[in-house]
């Protein structure tokens, strides 16, 4: 019941498009197929019309896993968000996707390489209830159309730390599920295994990226931006860093769905095919050892 997918961000970065900007989509898909991935999440080089997207994926036998959506629920209500999200939701439905990757970005700094993470937005305690109600309303609407909203906690956004994640989960209803990202959890100071244990029944998507401990320490000491941390190599593929994946996967004994390698690095420093092969081999082994595959 578990399928292994990839995010194209290891080949071509979405937040800093100079990283891998010259790499054609076809190279990304061909190398992902060579490695053994069953599907790909969307990136900025993918067609956003269903027939064209199917035509791009079909020669490589790749499924469409899902795609990121940048929300602005701090600025608009759920009805307005659904109108803005409609083309993306309809594309995912047409491609047979079961989850929609959702993150609030209206005041985020993750795309600004000059903005240190100490300047990231922090939600006032009094604002969680309204925000949670809006996210829940959107999640109810997407689920009624057969697509589960999975919220992506992310560095440089209002849902970054373990405290943020707990507040968010408490403020949202059961239709809202969590996208557990092991790399963002670790970089944000949370324990991904503890999150997996606490929210296992509301986790419907998993992103696996590892964290290099030495770069993490340097990033924290220097108050780096999110993108500077990426460029300097804070992230790598699963099994190549400090994340305890054995404990994470043991905390998800009933998980069913996609497990995606989303390990953004500078492709000039970290060859995408080499690291994709390493991550896929490690992830396949670790899932098997946990009895999940």
Let me know: does 104 contact 158? Beta carbons within 8 Å. Answer: yes
- How confident is the prediction for the chain on average, in pLDDT? 97
Enumerate residues 6+ apart whose C-beta is below 8 A from 86: none
pTM over 0.75: yes
pLDDT of residue 293: 84
* pLDDT band per the 50, 70, 90 thresholds, residue 6: very high
Per-residue pLDDT for 159 more than 90?
Answer: yes
Q: Which residues lie across from 64 on neighbouring strands?
A: 40
Tens digits of per-residue pLDDT, 271-283? Answer: 999 999 999 999 9
The pLDDT score that the predictor gives to residue 91 is 98
| pLDDT per position as a tens digit, 24-81 | 999 999 999 999 999 999 999 999 999 999 999 999 999 999 999 999 999 999 999 9
* Per-domain residue ranges of the chain: 2-289
CA distance 4 to 205: 11
* 198 confidence band (pLDDT: 50, 70, 90): very high
For residue 156, what are the contacts with CB-CB under 8 A and spacing of at least 6?
108, 109, 110, 111, 112, 115, 117, 120, 225, 226
What are 48-61's pLDDT values in tens digits?
999 999 999 999 99
Q: Using CA atoms, how far apart are residues 212 and 234, in angstroms rounded to an integer?
A: 5
CATH code linked to domain 2-289 = 3.20.20.150
In contact, 210 and 182? CB cutoff 8 Å = yes
Mean pLDDT of 208-216: 98
Q: What is the pLDDT of residue 42?
A: 98
Mean pLDDT of the region 138-144: 98
Instruction: Grade residue 233 by pLDDT with cuts at 50, 70 and 90.
Output: very high
pLDDT for 35 equals 98
Residue 229: the pLDDT is: 98
The stretch 203-216 carries a mean pLDDT of: 98
| Confidence label for 247 from pLDDT (cuts 50, 70 and 90) | very high
């Amino acid at each position: 019941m578990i399928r292994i997918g990839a995010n194209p961000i290891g080949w071509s970065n979405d937040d800093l498009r100079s990283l891998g900007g010259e790499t054609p989509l076809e190279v990304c898909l061909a190398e992902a197929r060579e490695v053994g991935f069953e599907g790909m999440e969307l990136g900025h080089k993918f067609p956003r019309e269903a027939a064209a997207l199917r035509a791009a994926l079909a020669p490589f036998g790749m499924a469409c896993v899902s795609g990121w959506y940048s929300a602005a629920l701090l600025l608009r209500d759920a009805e307005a968000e659904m109108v803005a999200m409609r083309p993306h939701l309809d594309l995912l439905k047409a491609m047979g996707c079961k989850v929609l990757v959702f993150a609030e970005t209206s005041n985020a700094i993750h795309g600004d390489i000059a903005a240190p993470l100490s300047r990231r937005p922090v939600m006032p305690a009094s604002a969680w209830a309204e925000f949670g109600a809006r996210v829940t309303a959107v999640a109810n609407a997407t689920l009624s159309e057969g697509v589960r909203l999975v919220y992506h906690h992310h560095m440089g956004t209002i849902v970054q730390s373990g405290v943020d994640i707990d507040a968010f989960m408490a403020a949202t209803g059961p239709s809202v599920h969590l996208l557990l990202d092991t790399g963002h959890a670790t970089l944000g100071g949370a324990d991904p295994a503890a999150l997996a244990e606490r929210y296992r029944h509301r986790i419907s998507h998993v992103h696996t990226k590892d964290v290099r401990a030495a770069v993490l320490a340097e990033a924290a000491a220097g108050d780096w931006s999110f993108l500077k941390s990426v460029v300097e190599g804070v992230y790598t593929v699963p099994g190549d860093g400090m994340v305890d994946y054995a404990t994470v996967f043991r905390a998800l004994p009933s998980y069913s769905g996609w497990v995606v390698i989303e390990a953004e690095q500078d492709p000039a420093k970290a060859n995408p095919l080499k690291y994709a092969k390493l991550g896929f081999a490690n992830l396949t082994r670790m899932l098997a050892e946990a009895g999940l595959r």
